[in-house]
Structures are given as structure tokens and as C-alpha cells.
Structure 1
Amino acid sequence: MTQNLPFSQACENNKRPILEKLAAIFHAPGLVLEIGTGTGQHAVHFAGHLSHLTWQPSDHPRNYQLCLPRIRQAGLANLNSPKSLDVCQSEWGLPDSVNGVFSANTAHIMSWPEVERMFAGVARILAPGSAFCLYGPFSYEGQHTSASNLNFDRHLRSQNPSMGIRDMSDLIALADRCRLSLDEDLDMPANNRMTVWRRQA
């Protein structure tokens, strides 16, 4: 852990397996938006290993500067300064088109209307055929994939009833309304998934 920088153990644990998937998905040069950059550990790790990409961090207006010290310390030419992003705003203040979007562990801490706005916003700026990679725990047909995910979901809802692990059937229906299609649903460590949504033409 780098001294005095915000730190997430979960990010440290999952950054390598996530990078392995992203390297195969985001193989062409382009601009990738990260929604929910948090501490910046993912942004620095991915930009440092995927030099063909320009990585654009973003986070909620309350949190978007949390990653700034780590990003400045990294000094990577392909890692932009973080942007303030409220997914519920009609205009995101970002480029009209991006070549990819990545978000980790956000859908279950957003309310469902926020998830809806995130998918709609991603579809609005994502180039046709490009990928939206959404990482985290998900349920299937109302069933959790592990006891730990069930307990985590209960914990989230006890903290705030609007939060909770999202069901894949609901996400697929939402994505279809936004002209996004589920391309891959990849198994990841610690009962997580990497879902890859493609912008329809």
C-alpha cells in the first residue's frame, strides 16, 4: 500500500484478474471511460498495462477527486484527470463518443433508477459495437450464486433499501431497452462476474 493514498483491499485483490479480461476486450486503441473510479487503483493499474488506451476516470461529484493523488503520483501519459460524473444528469460533460466503458462494483450500491440512467448514458456515448464492461456480483433468476453474496445483499439492503445485488434478467431487459446486448458473462474470483455489453448498431 502506498503511504497516505486512499486504498481499497478489494481493488488490490481483483485488479489483476480484471486486467486479464480487459486486455482481451479492449484490444484496439481508443478512449475508455471508467465509471466509479474510487481510489484510482484500478485506473492506474489498467492504464499502466494497457498503453494503447486513453483511460478516463470519473466518479460521483462528491468522490471524483479521491483518486487524484494516486493518478498524479503515477504520472501516466494515457491516464486523464478524473471527471465529475453524476449518472442521473442528462448531460455527462464527456466526449460524445467513447470506445469502451468500464465500471466495477457500482450497480449494487446505486439505486435501480441510477442503474437505469447509467445504462442509458453509456448507450448514448458508446460507439456501436464497443463494449461496456460491468464487474461485480449478480444474481440469476432471483437466486444468488453463493451464500456470501446472499449475506452481502442483505447487508446492503439493511444499510439502504435502494441498494442491492442486481438480477441478470433485470439487467438484460434494461440493456435491451438501451440497445445494449449481453455479449459475455465471465466468471471471476470471489463470486463476481465480468459482464460485457455491446452497443448495438
Structure 2
Amino acid sequence: MQTMNPLAAAPRGALASPAAARNTGPILEVLKAHMPGRGRVLEIAAGSGEHAAAFAGALPGLDWTPSDPNAEARASITAWATAASLPNLRPPLALDVLDAATWPEGPLQAVVCVNMIHISPWAATEGLMALAGSRLATGGLLVLYGPYREADVALAPSNAAFDQSLKARDPAWGLRDRDTVAAVAKAEGLALTRRVEMPANNLMLLFRRV
């Protein structure tokens, strides 16, 4: 399943994502407040690998495994990891949320997924929730970041335009309804426990495995 946006080339054989450069700091502040001190973390659709290197470096007690179904992304993740040279950053997995045979064994203490749900078919969200529900330890954390539609919040004009551009690229893409995502998560034993407003009209949604 293809989820990675095209990324510009960066030094040392890596790829660079402007979005990752902007949102790494704000996301990391939330992770620092809510992630466990120790344990195994699986990052889904890790893209360029910039997040993996930054988060693993800032959270040294966590054993961080990035993943992406895209071979170009995995090569970039490897390049960023090589440059970072972190003992807690693992090689990337060729994980596809639509293929359970590619999922690692649990238990995991956390699953992190940044900017995937709106640039993938709805089946990818269902697969993500099934993965988290089956691999997270009891009390484990699922962290989602990205833009969402919310019934009780007016859609920002920038998000409305973004939604239209996504659907123009692929009719199966687009901003998802927060409550619908939470309902799919609940069916897999994941309870939405926190909603955090982020810059540029994004949200972080935190779920716990019950």
C-alpha cells in the first residue's frame, strides 16, 4: 500500500519532508508528556525517517522501530538512522497495515502514526486499528497525528482546501471524521483518551488499549 508523499532529496542519501521539519517539535512535546519511559514503540508509515531519528534521540528509554511499505522511504529511514547512530533506533520494517503477515509480534508499549490516515484508503485506518488492538499491551498507547473533520468544530478553510486537493489526487484519500476513527478504534479495544490541538489545524489523538 502506497502512503508516502513525494519527498525532496536531502544530503547524505536521505529524503527530507518539509512537513516533518515543521511538526517534529510540537509532536515531540506531546510524546514527552504521554509516552512511557521505557518499552517497544512501532512507528507506522514513517516516511522520510526524520521523525524516527528525532523521536528516538529525544526518548532514549524507548526502543523505536520505524516502518514503511515503500522501499524508497525505508532507504531514507536507514540513511537518517545511520547519521543519527542511536542505539535505540531499529532498522525499518517493510510493514503494510493491510497485510497482517508483515506485522511484528507484540506486546508493544506504543504505536505512533503521523500523517497517514488522510493519505491512504479507509481500509488502511481499519488495518492500523486492528494492528494496534492486537499488538499493544494492555494500557499501551496509540498516537495519531494529522488533520480531521469534527462534528463540533468548524472545518478550517485551509483544511477544506487540503481535503479537496487530496481527493483530487486520489478519491480514496481525504480528511477523516474524528468520531468515525474513534469508533473503529473502540471496536479493536482502543479508547480515545485525549485530543490535543496542534499547529496548522492538526490534532493529536491518543488512544489506550483497554
Specify the TM-score bucket, using the shorter chain as the normaliser: over 0.9
In 1, are the aligned partners of 2:52 and 2:64 still within 8 Å (CA)?
Answer: yes
**Structure 2: distance between partners of 1:180 and 1:25:** 16
Q: Tell me what 1:181 maps to.
A: 191
Matches of residues 8-157 of structure 1 in structure 2 within 5 Å? 8-62=17-71, 63-141=73-151, 145-157=155-167
Structure 2 gaps, min length 5? 1-8
Relative distance call for 1:142 and 1:106 in structure 2 (3 A) is farther
Post-superposition offset of 1:153: 0.4
SS at match of 1:18: helix
TM-score of the two chains, using structure 1 as the length reference? 0.94
Distance change in 2, residues 1:45/1:158 (3 Å): same
CA-to-aligned-CA distance 1:138-189 (integer Å, 9 cap, x gap): 0012965310000000000011110001101211211111111100010001
For 2:56 and 2:198, locate their aligned partners in 1 and report how far apart those are by CA, in whole Å: 21
1:73-127 deviation line (CA, Å, top 9, x unaligned): 1110000010000111122341321100111000001101111111111111011
Q: Distance in 2 between matches of 1:177 and 1:110?
A: 20
* Partner Cα separation in structure 1 for residue 196 and residue 59 of structure 2: 20
Give how far 1:61 is off: 4.2
**Equivalent pair of 1:138/1:144 in contact (CA under 8 Å):** no
Check whether the contact 2:48–2:74 (CA below 8 A) recurs between aligned residues.
no
Query: Which range moves more in the overlay, 138-147 or 84-93?
Result: 138-147
Counterparts of 2:175 and 2:31, CA distance in 1? 22
Amino acid of the structure 2 residue aligned with 1:140: E
Higher helix share: 2
1:3 to 11, 19, 22: 11
Query: In 2, Cα distance between the equivalents of 1:44 and 1:84?
Result: 17
- Whole-Å separation in 2 of the counterparts to 1:158 and 1:44: 32
Letter in 1 for 2:15: P
Q: How many residues matched?
A: 200
Describe the SS at the equivalent of 1:181: strand
TM-superposed CA distance for 1:70, in Å, is: 1.0
Q: In structure 2, what is the Cα distance between the partners aligned to 1:143 and 1:151? A: 16
What is the TM-score of this pair, normalised by structure 2? 0.90
Q: Does 1:196 align with 2:206?
A: yes
Q: Is the 8 A contact 1:144 1:150 kept in 2?
A: no
